[in-house]
Structure 1
Amino acid sequence: MRQRDDLDAQVSAVHAMESGIRDNVELIELGEAEGDQEIVKEAEAALVEMRNQAARLQVETLLSGEADKNDCFVEIHSGAGGTESQDWANMLLRMYSRWAEQRDFKVDTIEIHDGEEAGIKSATIQVKGHNAYGWLKTESGVHRLVRISPYDSAARRHTSFSSVWVYPVIDDTIEIEINESDCRIDTYRSSGAGGQHVNTTDSAIRITHIPTGIVVACQAERSQHKNRATAWNMLRARLYELELQKREEAANATEATKTDIGWGHQIRSYVLQPYQMVKDLRTGVETSQPSAVLDGDLDQFMEAALAQRVGLTEEA
Structure 2
Amino acid sequence: MRAEAEALVESIKQSMGLLRRHLDVDTATRRLAELNAKVEDPDLWNDADAAQKIMRERTELEDRLGSIARFERDLEDAATLVELGEMEEDADTEQEGIAQLKALKVEAERRQVEALLSGEVDGNDTYIEVHSGAGGTESCDWARMLFRMYARWGERHKFKVEIIEETSGDEAGIKSATLVVKGHNAHGWAKTESGVHRLVRISPFDSNARRHTSFASVWVYPVIDDKVEIDVKESDCRIDTYRSSGAGGQHVNTTDSAVRITHIPSGIVVACQGERSQHKNRATAWNMLRARLYEAEMMRREAENSKTEASKTEIGWGHQIRSYVLQPYQLVKDLRTGHTSGAPDDVLDGGLDSFMEASLAQRVYGGGPGEVEDVD
CA contact (8 A) 1:184 1:209 kept: yes
CA contact (8 A) 2:25 2:65 kept: no
Matched letter for residue 359 of structure 2: A
Tell which deviates more after alignment, 200-209 or 230-239: 200-209
CA contact (8 A) 1:249 1:258 kept: no
Distance, in Å, in 2 between the alignment partners of 1:287 and 1:254 is: 27
**Match for residue 316 of structure 2?**
262
Distance, in Å, in 1 between the alignment partners of 2:156 and 2:98 is: 29
Assess, with a 3 A threshold, how the Cα gap between structure 1 residues 55 and 194 changes in structure 2: closer, same or farther: closer
1:232 aligns with 2:286: yes
**Match for residue 141 of structure 2?**
87
Matched letter for residue 261 of structure 2: I
Assess, with a 3 A threshold, how the Cα gap between structure 1 residues 11 and 246 changes in structure 2: closer, same or farther: farther
- C-alpha displacement of 1:247: 2.2
CA contact (8 A) 1:249 1:259 kept: no
Task: Note the 1:98-247 alignment, pairs <5 A.
Answer: 98-194=152-248, 197-247=251-301
CA contact (8 A) 2:166 2:247 kept: no
Distance, in Å, in 2 between the alignment partners of 1:54 and 1:141 is: 28
**Match for residue 279 of structure 1?**
333
- C-alpha displacement of 1:43: 6.3
Structure 1: gaps of 5 or more residues: none
Distance, in Å, in 1 between the alignment partners of 2:311 and 2:249 is: 48
Render the CA deviation track for 1:268-307: whole Å, top value 9, x for unaligned: 1111111211111111111222111111111111111111
What TM-score does the superposition give when structure 2 sets the normalisation length?
0.74
Assess, with a 3 A threshold, how the Cα gap between structure 1 residues 63 and 190 changes in structure 2: closer, same or farther: same
**Match for residue 75 of structure 1?**
129
Distance, in Å, in 1 between the alignment partners of 2:325 and 2:132 is: 17
Give the number of aligned pairs: 310
**Match for residue 365 of structure 2?**
311
Render the CA deviation track for 1:9-52: whole Å, top value 9, x for unaligned: 6788668766875686578667866x496997886666455434
| Percent identity over paired residues | 67
- C-alpha displacement of 1:98: 1.1
What TM-score does the superposition give when structure 1 sets the normalisation length?
0.87
Distance, in Å, in 1 between the alignment partners of 2:147 and 2:227 is: 30
Distance, in Å, in 1 between the alignment partners of 2:26 and 2:287 is: 25
Structure 2: gaps of 5 or more residues: 1-22, 29-60, 368-376
Matched letter for residue 234 of structure 1: M
**Match for residue 298 of structure 1?**
352
Distance, in Å, in 1 between the alignment partners of 2:74 and 2:203 is: 53
Q: Which has the higher helix share?
A: 2
Q: Which has the higher contact order (CA 8 A, sep 6+)?
A: 1
Matched letter for residue 138 of structure 2: E
CA contact (8 A) 2:130 2:219 kept: yes
Distance, in Å, in 2 between the alignment partners of 1:291 and 1:27 is: 36
Distance, in Å, in 2 between the alignment partners of 1:217 and 1:283 is: 33
- C-alpha displacement of 1:159: 0.8
Distance, in Å, in 2 between the alignment partners of 1:156 and 1:292 is: 24
Distance, in Å, in 2 between the alignment partners of 1:265 and 1:72 is: 22
CA contact (8 A) 2:239 2:260 kept: yes
Matched letter for residue 68 of structure 1: D
Q: Secondary structure at the match of 2:127?
A: strand
